[in-house]
Chains A and B, each alone.
Chain A
Amino acid sequence: MDLQPLDFEKPIFELERRLQDLKEHSREHDVDLDSEVKAIEAKLRDTRREIYGNLSAWQRVQIARHVQRPFALDYVERCFTGWTELRGDRCFADDKAMPAGLATLDATRCVVITHQKGRNTKENVMRNFGCAHPEGYRKALRLMRLAQKFNLPVISLIDTPGAFPGIGSEERHISEAIAVNLREMMNLRVPIIAAVIGEGGSGGALGIGVADRVLILENSYYSVISPEACSAILWRDRKHAPEAAEALKLTAHDLLKLEVVDEIVDEPEGGAHRDYETAAFNLSSALRKNLAKLLETPTDQLLKKRYKKFRGLGNFAESKTNSGR
């Protein structure tokens, strides 16, 4: 497939095109353009390093939302074997924005829950742009309980702009569905790894994000509010989204500093969409490494650590006197 350049990538794509033209010309007309080719290759390397080495928060948000970025099922296909989808919340519907099921990572059987976006209009209608209804979160909870019953670890692949803001969503209590998952995941007696693979949109992301280890792909973002909505509130105009993205500290590196995530998974240069296989290899290596450690940890210790990890998040000032107890 032809890669679609983002605005800030245009200089790179322009050089790549020139390089290709030059090579073709050299081949077709049998002329030696080696020195020209080498010059452009050098320039391309520098330009790539310059641009991809200094991505702003907003540029990373754009990569995270790239229509060609690998989605959850692309990773499921490459990192796992024997994917067996299980459908429905046993109550209202099967939410196709959150495919979930059983799969094997190396030799470890897992429950995998995901957010899945669509790559074209037809798929997006089916997947609702990766925005789940309550049914998605309730299916996820059903499968997490199944995981607990059969002592299988849970892997959660997060990629959503947010839970769906719609009438049905509210009528069937999206808030409650997310809240219950937050509570139940804290005490689920099997290891949980969450990986933000694209967009980590607020409560909709956190609804399957309470985990022993929270990983994030290098160009993913995880935010309490979308940069556009933040901009609309703070500047009364969505145009300030790039500044909002910066202010929100939503990039993988910022979140690692804040201890909201535990580990960054490297992406191929320019983003996961440039090389699915490398991106998937990196993710599966990280999943395997973390899972091995978690599987060695006694369950009670695992739950204590999980609680402590989320319990410790938050920054505030406090005088030493502990009042009122």
Chain B
Amino acid sequence: MAIFKKPTLKTSQRKKRDIPQGLFQKCPGCEEVVSEIELNENLRVCPRCDYHFAVSAKERIGNLLDSQTFVEMDADLKSIDTLRFQGMASYKDRLKNYQERTGLTDAVISGHGMIEGYKVALAVMDFGFLAATMGSVVGERITRAIEYGTDERAAVIIVAASGGARMYEGMLSLMQMAKTSGALARHADARLPYLSVLTNPTTAGVMASFASLGDVIIAEPKSMIGFAGPRVIKETTHQDLPKGFQTAEFLEERGLIDMIVHRKKMRETISQLLGYLSSAP
């Protein structure tokens, strides 16, 4: 605790100089400085206050699955600018930009693998790619992962994070909500388990589709989860938002979420749930 004591100097300029970029950062939870090494050794959770930092989809898959069992599916799917969307930057440019920046082809990685010997179909969203908005590729990969689960009689696990629908794809983006939810209807009919894991943040169109449909809904601590953005709600209602509004804890209290699970306990919790809900491995 004492090693990285919060700098006493208040100017932001000074702080920046005290924190070499890339090696250290200030934890949004406790405002203490944490090192990248510490974070990486701790599943990117603050060792002091348990604040859960963002994690890439790849890292999450590594943390969740039995080692060497992940097989990626549909990596070849690529987004198309069907609407030829031009704003201040074109959709095409944005896609290219994020692909270069993240090394991902789109905002979700999907495939199958094992958790403690249980076969699972898995889709993990990556907020680093265009705020993990759901366009056709995200919707298609998730749908195919669910259908794979149905065909192979495997559980489905989706780790969600999203800013919502991808407006650059217009209504095709909205329709992914129906597509993914429909695939889950069939998976449910086959009496197979679906575990939904909500991470920071999971909102809008993703929350209003597959993310809300888990047989069990798990959330990481303090994740922001909701339908509308807090600013929109404030502007619409002219009301003060309740304390802790739209956090995982708030929603657990109000009955949406089954459990809040620390990232370190996630794999263990999921395998325990699979033990109850899956047929034997």
Q: Are B112 and A225 in contact (CB under 8 A)?
A: no
- Say which one of B19-27, B170-178, B272-280 lies at the interface with A: B170-178
Q: Which residue of A lies closest to B81 (CB)?
A: A315
Our pick among B136, B204, B239 for the contact of A315 (Cβ within 8 Å) is B136
Q: Are B86 and A247 in contact (CB under 8 A)?
A: yes
Q: Which residue of A lies closest to B228 (CB)?
A: A165
Q: Which residue of A lies closest to B205 (CB)?
A: A203
A187 at the interface (CB under 8 A from B): yes
- Say which one of B29-37, B58-66, B180-188 lies at the interface with A: B180-188
Given A183-B213, A316-B137, A206:B174 Cβ within 8 A: yes
A residues 144-191 in Cβ contact with B at 8 Å: 163-167, 169-176, 178-180, 182-184, 186-187
Inter-chain contacts of A209 with B (CB < 8 A): 178
Interface size class on chain B is 35 or more
CB distance from A269 to the nearest CB of B (A): 26
Q: How far is the CA of A164 from the CA of B204 in the complex (A)?
A: 12
Inter-chain contacts of B85 with A (CB < 8 A): 247
Inter-chain contacts of A250 with B (CB < 8 A): 170-171
Q: Are B254 and A311 in contact (CB under 8 A)?
A: no
Inter-chain contacts of A171 with B (CB < 8 A): 254
Q: Are A167 and B245 in contact (CB under 8 A)?
A: yes
Cβ proximity bits A207-229 to B, threshold 8 Å, 1 near / 0 not: 10110000000000011110000
Q: Which residue of A lies closest to B139 (CB)?
A: A314
B residues 43-89 in Cβ contact with A at 8 Å: 71-80, 82-83, 85-88
Q: Are A260 and B172 in contact (CB under 8 A)?
A: yes
B262 at the interface (CB under 8 A from A): no
Inter-chain contacts of A249 with B (CB < 8 A): 83, 170-171
Q: Which residue of A lies closest to B231 (CB)?
A: A165
A54 at the interface (CB under 8 A from B): no
Inter-chain contacts of B165 with A (CB < 8 A): 202-203, 224-225
Q: Are A175 and B207 in contact (CB under 8 A)?
A: yes
Q: Are A323 and B75 in contact (CB under 8 A)?
A: yes
Q: Are B175 and A324 in contact (CB under 8 A)?
A: no
CB distance from A110 to the nearest CB of B (A): 22
Our pick among A167, A203, A210, A323 for the contact of B74 (Cβ within 8 Å) is A323
B241 at the interface (CB under 8 A from A): yes
Our pick among B111, B207, B208 for the contact of A324 (Cβ within 8 Å) is B111
B residues 211-239 in Cβ contact with A at 8 Å: 211-213, 226-229, 232-233, 236-237, 239
Q: How far is the CA of A307 from the CA of B189 in the complex (A)?
A: 14
B129 at the interface (CB under 8 A from A): no
Q: How far is the CA of A260 from the CA of B172 in the complex (A)?
A: 7
A319 at the interface (CB under 8 A from B): yes
Q: Are A316 and B170 in contact (CB under 8 A)?
A: no
Our pick among A206, A310, A318 for the contact of B77 (Cβ within 8 Å) is A318
Given A182-B181, A183-B188, A316-B140, A324:B212 Cβ within 8 A: no
Q: How far is the CA of A209 from the CA of B177 in the complex (A)?
A: 11
CB distance from A85 to the nearest CB of B (A): 26
Inter-chain contacts of B76 with A (CB < 8 A): 318-319, 321, 323
Cβ proximity bits A247-258 to B, threshold 8 Å, 1 near / 0 not: 111100001001
Q: Which residue of B lies closest to A307 (CB)?
A: B182
Q: Are B171 and A316 in contact (CB under 8 A)?
A: no
A317 at the interface (CB under 8 A from B): yes
CB distance from B149 to the nearest CB of A (A): 12
Q: Are A173 and B256 in contact (CB under 8 A)?
A: yes
CB distance from A231 to the nearest CB of B (A): 9
Q: Which residue of B lies closest to A174 (CB)?
A: B227
A126 at the interface (CB under 8 A from B): no
Q: How far is the CA of A310 from the CA of B135 in the complex (A)?
A: 14
A122 at the interface (CB under 8 A from B): no
Our pick among A163, A167, A225 for the contact of B241 (Cβ within 8 Å) is A167
Inter-chain contacts of A180 with B (CB < 8 A): 212-213
B126 at the interface (CB under 8 A from A): no
B209 at the interface (CB under 8 A from A): yes
Inter-chain contacts of B71 with A (CB < 8 A): 324
A93 at the interface (CB under 8 A from B): no
Q: Which residue of B lies closest to A171 (CB)?
A: B254
Inter-chain contacts of B148 with A (CB < 8 A): 325
A233 at the interface (CB under 8 A from B): yes
A143 at the interface (CB under 8 A from B): no
CB distance from B221 to the nearest CB of A (A): 19
Inter-chain contacts of A184 with B (CB < 8 A): 185
Q: Are A165 and B86 in contact (CB under 8 A)?
A: no
Given A170-B228, A235-B88, A260:B175 Cβ within 8 A: yes
CB distance from B63 to the nearest CB of A (A): 20
A76 at the interface (CB under 8 A from B): no
CB distance from A278 to the nearest CB of B (A): 27
Q: Which residue of B lies closest to A210 (CB)?
A: B178
Closest 3 CB pairs of A and B: A165-B228, A234-B87, A324-B73
13 more A-B residue pairs beyond the given contacts A224-B169, A324-B111, A325-B148, with a C-beta to C-beta distance below 8 A: A178-B209, A179-B213, A186-B181, A187-B189, A224-B171, A234-B88, A307-B182, A313-B178, A316-B77, A316-B78, A317-B77, A319-B76, A323-B74
10 contacts between A and B (CB under 8 A): A170-B245, A178-B209, A186-B185, A210-B178, A223-B174, A224-B174, A314-B135, A316-B78, A316-B136, A325-B73
